[in-house]
Amino acid sequence: MLCSLSCFTASSNSKAASLHWTAERMLSVLLLAMGPVAYFNPGPVIDYSLAAALTLHGHWGLGQVLTDYVHGDTKIKMANAALFLLSTITFTGLCYFNYNDVGRNRTRSASLWGHVILCM
């Protein structure tokens, strides 16, 4: 399903809100599928895909918290700017880790197997 950027930013338009809700649910289902795929087939494509998907999922989730609990024009603008900064730093950090280290999935596998070996 191809859609413009407007389907990823909720507005007062019920069609845009519906498309945003659908995109959130599709991303959640995609994340459920990406977990096992990432574990059994680690690699740069899945690492960067997970970095993007996890960052977007967190951004949308925290955005909903801000929508519910932050009131006042100035506060909303400051909170949205802080959320955008946090999401940018998160995505940049995950990409940096994927590029300069072994990647997120191999790190999880190594820590899991290291723990199993220590328990034996």
Q: CB neighbours (10 Å) of residue 45?
A: 10
CA 22 to chain centre: 16
**Rounded CA gap, 101 and 44, in Å?**
11
Residue matched to tokens 């506060």: 75
**Rounded CA gap, 88 and 55, in Å?**
8
Q: In sequence order, what are the residues at sequence separation of 6 or more whose Cβ sits closer than 8 angstroms to the Cβ of residue 59?
A: 83, 87
71 marked as binding residue: no
Six-digit token string for 44: 């740069």
69 marked as binding residue: yes
Residues of each annotated binding site for a ubiquinone: 69
Binding-site sequence positions for heme b: 57
Q: Give the residue numbers of the binding site.
A: 57, 69
